[in-house]
Structure 1
Amino acid sequence: MAILVTGGAGYIGSHTCVELLTTGYEIIILDNLSNSKKASLDRIKEITGKDFKFYYLDLLDRDALQSVFIENHIEAVIHLAGLKAVGESVEMPLHYYHNNITGSVILFELMEKFGVRNLVFSSSATVYGTQEHVPLTEKLPLAATNPYGRTKLMIEEILRDIYVSNNKWSIALLRYFNPVGAHPSGQIGEDPNGIPNNLVPYITQVAIGKRKEINVFGNDYDTHDGTGIRDFIHVVDLAAGHIKALEKVMSSVGVSAYNLGTGKGYSVLEMIHAFEKVTGKNIPYKIIDRRPGDIGISYADSTKAQKELDWVAKKGIEEMCSDSWRWQLNNPNGYEVENKKQIVVLTSMPVPVK
């Protein structure tokens, strides 16, 4: 019995796969490597000392995806695959709707066809949109403010409808806040393509000299220093939340949403200064206009996850900064060393591979 992890080569996916393997699960990773690197798979093996199957394919390829279900005995799915940049989604809404929603529907159809009804879905705090009060609870009305968030919200609604149609399904909707940090080994971390969309990898690239300064998007929010406030959560804590959610869905039926965050909000400038304190590096920045679709304040009430999943975030802002910096120091160009090999592999990679 194996756990299928879509998007398992990515930032959150690779850390989740490490947690799954070290906990004793057999896993199958599926990824199209559009925003991830095959080298992360080798690092997962190095960290855990365990092997797994990897399929290089896209969820939009129904026939290839069906072959995964035919060839394996899958017990549950952790669905992380999807496009994830807020700003890009505003510029390319149709691309996001097609990729994220259509790919998910194909996956769910095949899960139903093969009787695989245990699912942990990677949702997002963006489904809450702009709220008058924080912290954010799962009971709040949902109204995403950008196409990326709306794809997550639509998929949540699709999954609720699926459960109504067949109550044998067991589904956990994990609403992430802002994942940061890296595995303490420094072997896997966030390696974005091109200019980072997220704050912390941008900070680390400035600190190591790859970029001149950080662009801070807006200083006119209604916050103590004018910059946006977010709930930053260590990616290892987030990965542990997936294990707890997986245990939940494999032991009961139903559909439920869970916030995964620390319950604390830090502004963009506070995060920059915390990184400076931990690393001793000066981080220059400049204020520019807000990004389309961004909101001012967002942080979690994760009480429900604590009560129902027995999960709580354990790592603080110092570990988030120090682990991010260790990853950047050990990998100044990310997984770039392996990228030349990757290009060759992708042109000839059979499905599946070990």
Structure 2
Amino acid sequence: MPKKILVTGGAGYIGSHTTLLLLEAGYEVVVVDNLSNSSLESLRRVEKITGKSITFYKVDLRDRTKLESVFEEHQIESVIHFAGLKAVGESTQIPLEYYENNIYGTIILLKVMQQFNCYQLVFSSSATVYGDPASVPITEDFPTSTTNPYGSSKLFIEQIVKDLAESNHLWKMVILRYFNPVGAHESGMIGEDPKGIPNNLMPYISQVAVGKREKLSVFGSDYPTIDGTGVRDYIHVVDLSDAHVKAVQSFEGIESVATFNLGTGNGFSVLQMVKAFEEGSNKKVPYELVARRPGDIAECWADASLAESKLGWKASRGLKEMIGDTWRWQNKNPDGYEN
């Protein structure tokens, strides 16, 4: 009997790619998503690619009764928790929404898991919990602090997860701190489909390249970096998703809580990414340099050697695949899932 995994936020960007890899690895997948920043079309396409079916419920995690009914219908073995609001800039404008959605939603999820004796969780955290790091590359034992409410919500949830594991030793938790997910599935059928103006660099660049937007705004050109623009560790979404499958497979060997960075260990500036994208797509990407965004930092990249030694996971896709797969997705789906 295949193991059943619940994926919260499974219709979103990383959630849909992880759902695809879980199905390919032989798991049964139940997805709950409130579709506030995602599309059901992503899951239809995952079913098409894999030839397997997904059980879907439109549920907001803050609705305990509906969430309980999902657990009543299914014997859930483990949960991968992606659901949450995720824009750094927006979080500085509407912090209460971020705290209510991300933290309260997670508390309800954990209470319901406990109620149904489901004690295995993979939590989607973020490199934003390192705040403005004193040095790079960043290892998991770096001090944590945050520069925006989005990052704070992730850090609070990490603490909640650790406190819960401390209180009851049945819990096994894996916290995955992502650096900057980019790219798309090689089929070009699923990818990142932000609603409105993209918050992330790659979908913004690709929307400019496909003619959907006039030019890219580069936030900040006076950082102490190679060319003055922000430096980040970009990781292919399929590599990232693969780490979640490996995390689910690693619960046996985990006592309590394990935390891992997910990145490539390489940093690229915004302008380096623009140049690489222009070369990979043969499209011009006009840009303008504008003021820094609140909450942004100069540079951030990972030391991900712990995930390699403990999970047997390592990012294998380079910048060429990240750009090629992003462009294939955008080119095939200029309007995302609205096509």
One fold, TM greater than 0.5?
yes
Report the Cα distance in structure 2 between the residues aligned to 1:249 and 1:107, rounded to whole angstroms. 19
Question: 2:16 is matched with which residue?
Answer: 14
* Corresponding position of 1:44: 46
Cα distance in 2 between the residues matched to 1:234 and 1:104: 26
C-alpha separation between the residues in 1 aligned to 2:47 and 2:38?
Answer: 16
The alpha carbon displacement at 1:248 in A equals: 1.1
Partner of residue 164, structure 1: 166
Q: Structure 2: how far apart are the matches of 1:137 and 1:126?
A: 13
Question: Is structure 2 residue 126 aligned with structure 1 residue 134?
Answer: no
Kept in 2, the 8 Å contact 1:122–1:173? The answer is yes
Which residue is 1:242 aligned to? 244
Report the residue type matching 1:178 in the other structure.
N
Please say if 1:211 is aligned against 2:191: no
Secondary structure at 1:104 match in 2:
helix
Counterpart contact for 1:168–1:253, Cα < 8 Å:
no
| Superposed displacement of residue 224, structure 1 | 1.1
Maintained 8 Å contact 1:2/1:73: yes
How far apart, in 2, do the equivalents of 1:224 and 1:183 lie? 31
1:220 aligned partner:
222
Residue by residue over 1:122-155, the C-alpha shift from the partner in whole angstroms, topping out at 9 and shown as x without a partner, is: 0000000011110000001100110000000000
- How far did 1:26 drift? 0.5
Aligned to 2:65: 63
Q: Which residue of 2 aligns with 1:326?
A: 328
Residue equivalent to 1:124:
126
The count of aligned residue pairs is 337
1:90-105 equivalences in 2 (<5 Å): 90-105=92-107
**Is 2:166–2:256's contact at 8 Å kept on the other side of the alignment?**
no
Return the letter of the residue paired with 2:11: A
Alignment correspondent of 2:82: 80
- Distance in 1, matches of 2:252 and 2:54, equals 21
Structure 1 range deviating more: 307-316 or 250-259:
250-259
The corresponding residue for 1:350 is none
For residue 34 of structure 1, what is the aligned residue in structure 2? Answer: 36
1:279 aligns with 2:281: yes
The letter of the residue matching 1:156 is E
Q: Distance in 1 between matches of 2:55 and 2:213?
A: 36
* RMSD (Å) for aligned C-alpha atoms: 0.7
CA distance in 2, matches of 1:225, 1:245: 36
TM-score (norm 2): 0.99
Show structure 2 runs of 5+ residues with no match.
none
**Does the Cα contact within 8 Å between 2:43 and 2:54 map onto a contact in 1?**
no
| Divergent runs of 4+, >6 A | none
Alpha-carbon distance in 2 for matches of 1:3, 1:127: 26
- 3-state SS in 2 of match to 1:335: helix
- Separation in 2, partners of 1:158, 1:336: 37
Quick check: 2:136–2:302 contact (8 Å CA) kept in 1? yes
Give the letter for the 2:272 counterpart: E
SS in 2 for 1:55: strand
C-alpha separation between the residues in 2 aligned to 1:252 and 1:262? Answer: 23
Q: For residues 230-289 of structure 1, give each alpha carbon's deviation from its aligned partner in whole angstroms, at most 9, with x where no partner exists.
A: 000000000000011111124533101100000000000000000011111111000001
1:186 and 1:97 mapped to 2: Cα distance?
34
CA–CA distance in 2 between the matches of 1:321 and 1:44? 21
Structure 1 runs not aligned, ≥5 long = 338-354
CA distance in 2, matches of 1:226, 1:250: 45
Aligned residue identity for 2:212: K
Percent of paired sites with the same residue:
58
